Amino acid sequence: MRHARLIIVLAALAAASLGYVWYDEKASATRGAAEQGTNADALFAESSVAIITEEAAYFEGANGYFVRPEAEGEYPGVVMIHENRGLRPETRQAAEALAREGYLVLAVDLLGGVAEDQEGARALTANYVQARGVENMRAAAAFLRAKGATRMASLGWCFGGRQSLELAMSGEPLDATVVYYGGGMATSTEMLAPIRWPVLGIFGDQDRAIPVETVRTFEASLAELGVENEIHVYPGVGHAFANPSGMNYAPAETADAWAKTLEFLARTLK
């Protein structure tokens, strides 16, 4: 029994280091595509704002999803970063919803494929090289600037939450950073020191990958560095609660977090 518990703990720590999504995989497999689509549709309500979408080869071996308002004009840019299951439909839908709010959005592809469950996600992330990932995201920012982006933010969930922070710490000049429960993310002042712009953090107090104590350390370090920050910890929800396709999906908290995200981006980028 003691040996079994040790294995579980070690597996949890390994998963947290890459921002793995914690939910019941067997139960998740029973969730129909129609239900997942309904959840996402309810969150990202349709808008009358017309958008243009295209597959974008912005980095060697990576094709992202570029979305922009159809109307000509100057718009800020957002590098959007997927969870550890790759550039899935729910991320594409989020990119479309954000573009309708007046942004140039490039949803990046850091893993070169998509997965339906955490076994597949582990296979996708097994050979992930962080330095290469940063190059990928910096190329995404350069792509958006070439398309006319006036200001720039990064936004990611889970694995992508950590990557959003990694981009911010890489020396890439940004104007805002959004982190949704970034597993294994940096929390020390030494690592966070390159950040000179506002940070929005979204977390759940039942998240086994990112305990509240870790979130508070992150918040305190940003404050010590003089970085403007908004950290929201939602009670009663766990990891990946904002993923419409996951078993931890919490619709009310997700809608509130998305509203806070839109307000934050509008205030910092527009």
pLDDT tens digits, one per residue of 163-211: 999 999 999 999 999 999 998 999 999 999 999 999 999 999 999 999 9
Q: What mean pLDDT is predicted for residues 33-41?
A: 56
pLDDT at 32: 44
Torsion of the alpha carbons at 104, 98, 62 and 167, rounded to the nearest 10: 80
Closest CA to 141 of 112, 102, 114, 175: 175
SS3 of 174, please? coil
d(CA 16, CA 34): 29
List C-alpha distances in Å: 176 to 87, 106, 235, 252: 22, 15, 25, 25
Which tokens in the block code for residue 39? 């959840």
* Interacting residues of 217 by C-beta distance below 8 A, sequence separation 6+: 187
pLDDT at 245: 86
Q: What is the pTM of this model?
A: 0.87
Split at pLDDT 50, 70, 90, the class of 28 is very low
Q: What mean pLDDT is predicted for residues 23-39?
A: 43
Express each pLDDT in 201-245 by its tens digit. 999 999 999 999 999 999 999 999 999 999 999 999 999 999 998
Domain boundaries, the chain: 2-22+32-269
Q: What mean pLDDT is predicted for residues 136-151?
A: 98
Q: What letter represents residue 148's amino acid? A: G
Q: Which of residues 29 and 76 earns the better pLDDT score?
A: 76
Split at pLDDT 50, 70, 90, the class of 39 is low
pLDDT at 99: 98
pLDDT at 183: 87
d(CA 73, CA 194): 31
pLDDT at 235: 98
pLDDT at 9: 36
Domain 2-22+32-269: CATH architecture, name and number where available: 3-Layer(aba) Sandwich (3.40)
Q: What are residue 249's DSSP bridge partners?
A: none
Q: Assign residue 51 a region: left if phi > 0, alpha if psi is -120 to 50, beta otherwise?
A: beta
Percentage of the chain exceeding pLDDT 70: 84
CB 77 within 8 A of CB 51: no
**Poorest-pLDDT segment among 8-17, 28-37, 50-59, 93-102:** 8-17
Percentage of the chain exceeding pLDDT 90: 79
Express each pLDDT in 51-83 by its tens digit. 999 999 999 999 999 999 999 999 999 999 999
Pairing of strands 51-59, 62-69: antiparallel
